[in-house]
Amino acid sequence: MFEPEEEGEASSSRAVPPEEQGGGSSSGSNGDPSTLWREFENLEVHAARGVEMEVGVLKNLLKQLEILLDNARSQLLELEAQKALLETLLAISKYRGEVEDSSSKKG
């Protein structure tokens, strides 16, 4: 990942709290949205300082951001599937509870 040359100056001007600062996307973010925002804010910091980035570096950063976005989308799909499964299980559980309640009232 592209890091500033002066570490102390970078941490004081960055909008990300120190406890959230970590490695770049190459450290295995798994689509973490906070990592995506850190990467975006890093780009803003570099642009504000007038750091000249080569086109290849910018393309690499864009590719990394796209990977993070794809990972976030995949996680969202997984969470939606899990939610649907839990809702189904809840409905089954409620149905069983109603059946048990009605059978115990009859007996």
pLDDT 10s digits, 32-47: 778 878 888 887 777 7
Question: pLDDT at residue 15 above 50?
Answer: no
Q: How many domains does the chain have?
A: 1
In this structure, is residue 48 part of a structural domain? yes
Q: At what angle do helices 55-106 and 33-49 cross, to 10 degrees?
A: 160
pLDDT 10s digits, 64-90: 999 999 999 999 999 999 999 999 999
In this structure, is residue 81 part of a structural domain? yes
Domain that holds residue 61: 7-106
The pLDDT, as a whole number, for residue 48 is: 67
In this structure, is residue 37 part of a structural domain? yes
Question: pLDDT at residue 19 above 50?
Answer: no
Cα angle 61, 1, 6 (rounded to 5 degrees) comes to: 120
In this structure, is residue 2 part of a structural domain? no
- Summarize the confidence of residues 47-62 as an average pLDDT: 76
Prediction pTM value: 0.43
